[in-house]
Amino acid sequence: MASARTLDDVAVKGLRVLVRADLNVPMQDGKISDLTRLERLAPTINELSAAGAKVIVCSHFDRPKGKPVPAMSLRPIAAALGTVLGHEVAFADDCIGPVAEAAVAKLADGDVLVLENTRFHAGEEANDPNLSQSLADLADIYVNDAFSAAHRAHSSTEGVARLRPAYAGRLMQAELAALSAALGDPQRPVAAIVAGSKVSTKLDLLTNLVAKVDILVIGGAMANTFLAAQGHDVGKSLQEKDLHATALSILATAKEKGCEIILPVDLVVSATFAPNPPTQVVGIDAVPANMMALDVGPATVAGIIARLPHIKTLLWNGPLGAFETPPFQTATNALADAVAKATVDGTLISVGGGGDTVSALRLAGAADSMTYLSSAGGAFLEWMEGKILPGVEVLSAGLSNLG
Ligand code: ADP
Ligand code: MG
């Protein structure tokens, strides 16, 4: 992939700039529960505004399925964005048509406007050329700062980018740089940790990674499936029995490609899945029939930590245990500490991502010490799976279309 143009490549003063943002913030009881997405977006918007652009922000929010749903309006999120930016933010009740056009016409250089939820129009997810054109009509140039939505070829992420000169925003740029450093042309040896609940949700990921990384650590409940496939009795542990053959074929491919696989050597087991139950540490051949593995054991973690000094780049997706329920965050936290320390010491490039992975690394206090922690769940995984992200691809494809 050719690299995308960035804000360094354009003088925006006086231009109407359509910014595709990800304002799809997590909500709890009608309130925004985490401002991270807005904070990460601020540099791009503030830079454009300070440079005298008329900044027009668009985004999806939730799943209104192509119709206006008042509870899924971006209006309250626009207000929160204003607070994060420390800058007044106007709002338009539609993302296209006369309402949006009138709001754009009122903008002075440096002003910021948020448009209503793009998914209030069915054309958004259909990547309808009419919707793309209506969005393009609002602006002189297009900036995509929503890496987290770039795995979808929608009007606001892909279609519109074909109709205007298109650039990567600062957050998009940072994501692309970090991910290329980790998986594009990484400093070797490169290791990946893939853990979490299910092999089935991460098959493409495992398949892509065994061909690209030198070491693959498999943890979490998905390790149970691999251990069971190898003939270990995992008791009542969460596992996918129908994926034993798949697990074995992933191991065979790894061997063929020279990718070393690290599976747990010990496990933390419990008879009940509840906070602070009685637990035992057992070897992988000693899981009692009535118990389940809810975390990898101390010898496993020590083994992984001992390898860190010999690893230059580490990709991490998936908590090693059922981290939401104490004490099954123990292995994840211990490894997170070691990864954070090696990163801060400058001996390791560490890139993490995935919805639960980000929460787990935050809880572990390691989030700010990682080289890069991607806030893009699905898009991060698809990138790690080796897929082409349409919203990213079009930013470089646009170079030949529009010069
Ligand atoms: P991400 O969202 O970062 O891609 P996943 O969704 O694949 O990660 O996996 C996270 C989930 O896996 C967490 O909810 C965690 O509790 C669960 N998990 C990890 N290990 C185990 C285990 N041994 N038993 C049950 N659940 C587990
Ligand atoms: Mg998850």
Tens digit of pLDDT for each residue in 357-387? 999 999 999 999 999 998 788 899 898 888 8
What pTM, to 2 d.p., does this model score? 0.87
Task: Say yes or no: 150 and 250 in one domain.
Answer: no
pLDDT value at residue 184: 82
The range of the structural domain enclosing residue 368 comes to 186-384
Residue 194: inside a domain: yes
Split into its structural domains, the chain has a count of 2
| pLDDT tens column, 306-351 | 999 999 999 999 999 999 999 999 999 999 999 999 999 999 999 9
Task: Say yes or no: 278 and 138 in one domain.
Answer: no
User: What is the distance between the alpha carbons of residues 362 and 297, in angstroms, rounded to a whole number?
Assistant: 21
pLDDT value at residue 65: 96
CA distances from 357 to 23, 78, 260, 373, 374 (A): 20, 27, 23, 9, 10
User: What is the distance between the alpha carbons of residues 379 and 201, in angstroms, rounded to a whole number?
Assistant: 14
Residue 305: inside a domain: yes
C-alpha 291 – ligand 1 centre gap (Å)? 18
Q: Is the pLDDT of residue 398 over 70?
A: no
Residue 2: inside a domain: no
- Nearest CA, atom 7, ligand 1: 196
Confidence of residue 2 (pLDDT cuts 50, 70, 90): low
Q: Which ligand is nearest to the CA of 222?
A: 1
β-bridge mates for residue 191, sequence order: 215, 314
Task: Say yes or no: 54 and 157 in one domain.
Answer: yes
Residue 394: inside a domain: no
- Nearest CA, atom 10, ligand 1: 196
Using DSSP bridges, classify how beta strands 349-353 and 215-218 pair: parallel, antiparallel or unpaired: unpaired
Task: Say yes or no: 208 and 165 in one domain.
Answer: no
Residue 181: inside a domain: no
C-alpha 223 – ligand 1 centre gap (Å)? 11
Residue 207: inside a domain: yes
Among the three residues 173, 205, 240, which one is the final residue of a domain in this structure?
173
Task: Say yes or no: 169 and 275 in one domain.
Answer: no
Cα three-residue angle 364-369-375, rounded to 5 degrees: 75
Task: Say yes or no: 206 and 154 in one domain.
Answer: no
Which of 234, 356, 373, 383 for a ligand 1 pocket mutation test, highest count of atoms within 8 Å of Cβ? 356
- By percentage, how much of the chain surpasses pLDDT 90? 88
Q: Which ligand is nearest to the CA of 375?
A: 1
- Nearest CA, atom 14, ligand 1: 322
The protein residues having their C-beta less than 5 angstroms from ligand 2 (an ion) are 355-356
pLDDT value at residue 183: 82
C-alpha 356 – ligand 2 centre gap (Å)? 5
Q: Which of 5, 16, 20, 37 is catalytic?
A: 37
Helix then strand then coil, % of the chain, to nearest 5: 45, 15, 35
Judge contact between 46 and 88, C-beta under 8 A: no
Judge contact between 314 and 348, C-beta under 8 A: yes
Q: How many residues does the chain have?
A: 403
Least confident of 15-19, 28-32, 191-195, 280-284: 28-32
For the question of residue 355 being annotated catalytic, the response is yes
Task: Say yes or no: 126 and 260 in one domain.
Answer: no
Q: Is the pLDDT of residue 276 over 90?
A: yes
C-alpha 322 – ligand 1 centre gap (Å)? 6
Confidence of residue 238 (pLDDT cuts 50, 70, 90): very high
CATH number, domain containing residue 158:
3.40.50.1260
At 309, the amino acid letter reads P
Q: Which ligand is nearest to the CA of 234?
A: 1
Q: How many other C-beta atoms are found inside a 10 Å radius of the C-beta of residue 219?
A: 27
Task: Say yes or no: 168 and 278 in one domain.
Answer: no
- Ligand 1 binding pocket (C-beta < 6 A) is 196-197, 201, 220-221, 238, 293-294, 317-319, 321-324, 354-357
Residue 132: inside a domain: yes
Burial class (CB in 10 A: 0-12, 13-18, 19+), 373: buried
Task: Say yes or no: 137 and 249 in one domain.
Answer: no
